[in-house]
């Protein structure tokens, strides 16, 4: 069956060409869909490509039966229900820097238009007037510009403002003093930025913290005659408060590209305000930016669908090819250990500690824990759990996950150990990657063992006395189950012993029950990897 890539907003042809180049791909472009049409179109899609117009709600995501990835040809992903996508294991990627310059230039165009009344003067002239006195503006030189959000776009705006002779105040929790100095920007808190600026421009994402970051209270703290610019996201500035302040003349002007509701409603008060410059979300609308983001997102989608490395996932840390290669042997070990631990630790799991030691204790370890959890929950939810949603499964199960890192392995050069506490007690399994022998189990519930972590295994804990192993062997033989390998271990003679058998076929539950009934058997598990 073809790989269906559904594109529901206008993206540049260069991006569509890349998508069509994927072997076996069918690219379906359908724009301006109603929510119901979108739900129908997405049902059999493998990938979805959008800009800011398509609303990818939980409902839409739940209508997708085999969606792997949502690509946003642009930066903001606030039109995508990230939580719902993550829970379903759907990767969300964006194109974070393809439209930075376009958005920064648009911000400047808006600020200058506002300062010099260009749109209003233009309209006035077209109406037959020649009002040179009416449209006297202000200069940018010598004014103070507050940039709220000093990320990619905020930084480019700040650089341009410096070239215009402005004093630039930067507010961003992640802006370091060193970086501010290198940009010639004065780092300050929000209150100072709000109080001291002649122009204020916002460049943050829309989040719970930034929603109405500029409201009536903040506007009241601003200089009389301040000018505001929003080319980031509707909702960062409270539009109603802004409209009132514009009408009252407290705010001298506002240039707004993005709105709480898009398209901007016909009766919206901002349409009737004096000194506003309004554009219909055009920040990224340049030929260059649209080509950049379309190419970036299309290439990433192709990588994801081909199972190659990708860079710009929003709901999953990205790995470079080099990191992926370095981690590869440990990924296999971590996943197998997770799957093993799930079958070992029966009962409701409440906490898991994963210990990484030696070469397995590398900085990309966060990925390994996702892999452990992927293996762990795959046992119960086969085919549904992946790297994107593995932590969600842990959260939903109420499983507390802790990571421990040790620079040296206790015995081996690399070790991964999983301890799982359940209402039935705690179990522990340790593995290592042993060169060309690959991933192996080297310790089980504190007993030394050495066996490849693969195939079908039977694990017993029993009294260390003569005849135990023989009896289990006979029972399996009677049921035509061939033993391919055997490992035994104990700490002291006559105490408790463990045995890990590798067998050639699945072990029916009644065989496990029969082994469990034998006198002296304390625990038995069948484990399939
Ligand atoms: N109008 C358009 O067409 C258009 C085009 C591109 C991007 N955008 C929007 O512009 C915004 C910025 O994009 P970017 O590429 O620069 O993103 P970015 O991630 O590079 O920068 C965002 C910055 O905001 C900062 N920030 C986050 N929360 C903050 C808070 N509470 N207070 C202060 N700073 C905070 C972050 O630390 C970060 O430095 C986004 O909302 C994006 O969607 C709009
Ligand atoms: O976040 C973005 O990249 C911008 O808002 C651009 O949105 P657009 O792709 O709909 O123009």
Residue range 484-513, pLDDT digits in tens: 999 988 888 889 999 999 999 999 999 999
pLDDT at site 423 = 87
Rounded Cα gap, residues 521 and 499, in angstroms: 11
Identify which ligand lies nearest to the alpha carbon of 149.
Answer: 1
Rounded Cα gap, residues 449 and 5, in angstroms: 48
Residue 13, token pair as written in the block: 């042809």
In the block, tokens 């039966």 appear at 65
Q: Of 32-41, 232-241, 261-270, 460-469, where does mean pLDDT reach its minimum?
A: 460-469
Rounded Cα gap, residues 375 and 389, in angstroms: 12
CA–centroid distance for 358 within its chain: 28
Phi/psi-derived region of residue 347, left when phi > 0, alpha when psi is between -120 and 50, beta in every other case: left
Q: How remote is the CA of residue 207 from the centroid of ligand 1, in Å? A: 10
**Contact of 293 with 74, CB cutoff 8 Å:** yes
Ligand 1 neighbour 147 (Cβ under 6 A): no
Q: How remote is the CA of residue 173 from the centroid of ligand 2, in Å? A: 24
Rounded Cα gap, residues 261 and 259, in angstroms: 5
Q: What is the mean pLDDT of residues 327-351?
A: 93
Pairwise pLDDT comparison (469 vs 56), residue with the higher score: 56
Q: Ligand 2 pocket test: which of 207, 283, 286, 294 has the largest number of ligand atoms within 8 Å of its C-beta?
A: 283
Q: Of 73-82, 372-381, 441-450, 491-500, where does mean pLDDT reach its minimum?
A: 491-500
- Whole-angstrom CA distances from 450 to 58, 419, 434, 455, 499 are 47, 18, 10, 14, 11
Structural domains of the chain ordered from first start: 3-97+288-305 (3.40.50.720), 100-278 (3.40.50.720), 317-452 (3.30.1330.90), 455-529 (3.30.70.260)
Q: Ligand 1 pocket test: which of 204, 278, 297 has the largest number of ligand atoms within 8 Å of its C-beta?
A: 204
Q: How remote is the CA of residue 516 from the centroid of ligand 2, in Å? A: 62
pLDDT confidence bin for 317, thresholds 50/70/90 = confident
pLDDT confidence bin for 30, thresholds 50/70/90 = very high
Residue nearest to atom 42 of ligand 1 (CA): 76
Q: Which of 525, 441, 527 lies closest to 489 in space, CA to CA?
A: 441
pLDDT at site 1 = 83
Q: For the chain, how far is it from start to end, CA to CA, in angstroms?
A: 29
CA–centroid distance for 194 within its chain: 32
DSSP assignment string, 465-516: -TTHHHHHHHHHHHTT--EEEEEEEESSTTSEEEEEEEESSPPPHHHHHHHH
Ligand 2 neighbour 52 (Cβ under 6 A): yes
Per-residue pLDDT of 404-430, as tens digits, reads: 999 999 999 999 999 999 988 999 999
Per-residue pLDDT of 369-386, as tens digits, reads: 999 999 999 998 977 899
List the Cα angle 123/125/127 in 5-degree steps: 75
Ligand 1 neighbour 284 (Cβ under 6 A): yes
Q: How remote is the CA of residue 151 from the centroid of ligand 1, in Å? A: 6
Residue nearest to atom 43 of ligand 1 (CA): 76
Residue nearest to atom 9 of ligand 2 (CA): 51
Share of the chain above pLDDT 90, in %: 89
Rounded Cα gap, residues 148 and 187, in angstroms: 10
Q: How remote is the CA of residue 150 from the centroid of ligand 1, in Å? A: 8
pLDDT confidence bin for 365, thresholds 50/70/90 = low
Spell out a b/e string for 1-29, using b for 16 or more CB atoms within 10 Å of the CB, else e: eebbbbbbbebbeebbebbeebeebebee
Looking at the DSSP assignment, which residues form a beta bridge with residue 227? 199, 253
pLDDT confidence bin for 273, thresholds 50/70/90 = very high
Q: How remote is the CA of residue 124 from the centroid of ligand 1, in Å? A: 35
Q: What is the mean pLDDT of the chain?
A: 95
**Contact of 518 with 495, CB cutoff 8 Å:** no
Q: How remote is the CA of residue 110 from the centroid of ligand 2, in Å? A: 16
Q: Ligand 1 pocket test: which of 176, 232, 234 has the largest number of ligand atoms within 8 Å of its C-beta?
A: 232
Residue nearest to atom 21 of ligand 1 (CA): 151
Q: What is the mean pLDDT of residues 144-159?
A: 98
Q: How remote is the CA of residue 195 from the centroid of ligand 1, in Å? A: 21
pLDDT confidence bin for 124, thresholds 50/70/90 = very high
Residue nearest to atom 29 of ligand 1 (CA): 204
Identify which ligand lies nearest to the alpha carbon of 96.
Answer: 1
Residue nearest to atom 7 of ligand 2 (CA): 52
Ligand 2 neighbour 151 (Cβ under 6 A): no
Ligand 2 neighbour 51 (Cβ under 6 A): yes
Q: Which of 375, 508, 349, 347 lies closest to 439 in space, CA to CA?
A: 375
Ligand 1 neighbour 73 (Cβ under 6 A): no
Other CB atoms within 10 A of residue 141 CB: 8
Ligand 2 neighbour 334 (Cβ under 6 A): no
Q: What is the mean pLDDT of residues 172-184?
A: 96
- Whole-angstrom CA distances from 404 to 109, 197, 407 are 52, 48, 10
Identify which ligand lies nearest to the alpha carbon of 207.
Answer: 1
Q: How remote is the CA of residue 97 from the centroid of ligand 2, in Å? A: 11
**Alpha-carbon torsion angle 344, 347, 349, 354, nearest 10:** -10
pLDDT confidence bin for 100, thresholds 50/70/90 = very high
Q: Of 102-116, 339-353, 362-376, where does mean pLDDT reach its minimum?
A: 362-376
Residue nearest to atom 18 of ligand 1 (CA): 151
| Burial (CB count within 10 angstroms: exposed 0-12, middle 13-18, buried 19+), residue 248 | exposed
Q: Ligand 2 pocket test: which of 93, 99, 293 has the largest number of ligand atoms within 8 Å of its C-beta?
A: 99
Q: pTM of the predicted model, to two decimals?
A: 0.89
pLDDT tops 80 at residue 364: no
Catalytic residues: 233, 262, 281
pLDDT confidence bin for 346, thresholds 50/70/90 = confident
Ligand 2 neighbour 525 (Cβ under 6 A): no
List the Cα angle 430/432/436 in 5-degree steps: 150
Q: Which of 459, 455, 420, 454 lies closest to 440 in space, CA to CA?
A: 454
DSSP element (H, E) containing 365: helix 365-378
Identify which ligand lies nearest to the alpha carbon of 233.
Answer: 1
Q: Give the neighbor-by-neighbor strand order of the sheet with 400-406.
A: 400-406, 349-358, 414-422, 425-433, 439-444, 447-452
Atom of ligand 1 nearest to the CA of 174: 37
């Amino acid at each position: 069956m073809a790989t269906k890539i559904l594109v529901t907003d206008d993206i540049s042809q260069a991006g569509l060409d890349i998508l069509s180049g994927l072997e076996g791909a069918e690219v379906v472009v359908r724009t301006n869909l109603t929510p119901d049409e979108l739900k129908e179109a997405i049902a059999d899609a493998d990938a979805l490509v959008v800009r800011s117009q398509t609303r990818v709600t939980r409902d839409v995501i739940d209508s997708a039966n085999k969606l792997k990835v949502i690509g946003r040809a642009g930066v903001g992903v606030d039109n995508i229900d990230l939580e719902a996508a993550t829970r379903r294991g759907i990767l969300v990627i964006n194109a974070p820097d393809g439209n930075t310059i376009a958005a920064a230039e648009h911000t400047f165009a808006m600020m200058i238009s506002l300062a010099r009344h260009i749109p209003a003067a233009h309209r006035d002239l077209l109406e037959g007037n020649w009002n040179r006195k009416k449209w006297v503006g202000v200069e940018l030189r010598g004014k103070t510009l507050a940039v709220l959000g000093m990320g990619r776009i905020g930084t480019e705006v700040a650089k341009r403002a410096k070239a215009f002779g402005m004093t630039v105040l930067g507010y961003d929790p992640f802006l370091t003093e060193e970086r501010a100095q290198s940009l010639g920007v004065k780092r300050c808190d929000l209150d100072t930025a709000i109080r001291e600026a002649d122009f204020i421009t916002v460049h943050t994402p829309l989040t719970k913290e930034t929603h109405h970051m500029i409201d009536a209270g903040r506007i009241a703290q601003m200089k009389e005659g301040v000018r505001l610019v929003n080319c980031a996201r509707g909702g960062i500035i409270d539009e109603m408060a802004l409209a009132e302040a514009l009408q009252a003349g407290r705010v001298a002007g506002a240039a707004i590209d993005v709105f709480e509701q898009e398209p901007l409603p016909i009766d919206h008060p901002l349409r009737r305000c004096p000194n506003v410059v309004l554009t219909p979300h055009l920040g990224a609308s340049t030929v260059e930016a649209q080509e950049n983001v379309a190419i970036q997102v299309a290439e990433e989608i192709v990588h994801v669908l081909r199972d190659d490395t990708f860079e710009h996932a929003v709901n999953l840390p990205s790995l470079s090819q080099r990191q992926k290669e370095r981690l590869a042997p440990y990924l296999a070990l971590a996943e197998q250990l997770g799957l093993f631990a799930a079958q070992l630790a029966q009962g409701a799991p409440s906490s898991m500690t994963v210990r990484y030691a030696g070469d397995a204790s590398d900085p990309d370890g966060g990925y390994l824990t996702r892999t452990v959890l992927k293996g762990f929950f795959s046992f119960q939810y086969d085919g549904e759990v992946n790297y994107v949603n593995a932590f969600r499964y842990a959260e939903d199960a109420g499983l507390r996950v802790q990571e421990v890192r040790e620079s040296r392995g206790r015995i081996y050069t690399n070790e991964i150990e999983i301890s799982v506490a359940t209402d039935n007690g705690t179990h522990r399994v340790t593995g290592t990657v042993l060169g060309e022998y690959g991933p192996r189990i080297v310790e089980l519930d504190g007993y030394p063992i050495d066996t490849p972590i693969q195939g079908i295994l039977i694990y017993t804990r029993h009294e260390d006395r003569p005849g135990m192993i023989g009896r289990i062997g006979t029972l399996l033989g009677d049921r035509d189950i061939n033993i391919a390998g055997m490992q035994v271990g104990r700490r002291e003679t006559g105490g408790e012993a463990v045995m890990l058998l590798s067998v050639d076929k699945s072990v029916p539950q009644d065989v496990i029950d029969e082994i469990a009934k034998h006198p002296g058997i304390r625990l038995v598990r069948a484990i399939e990897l």
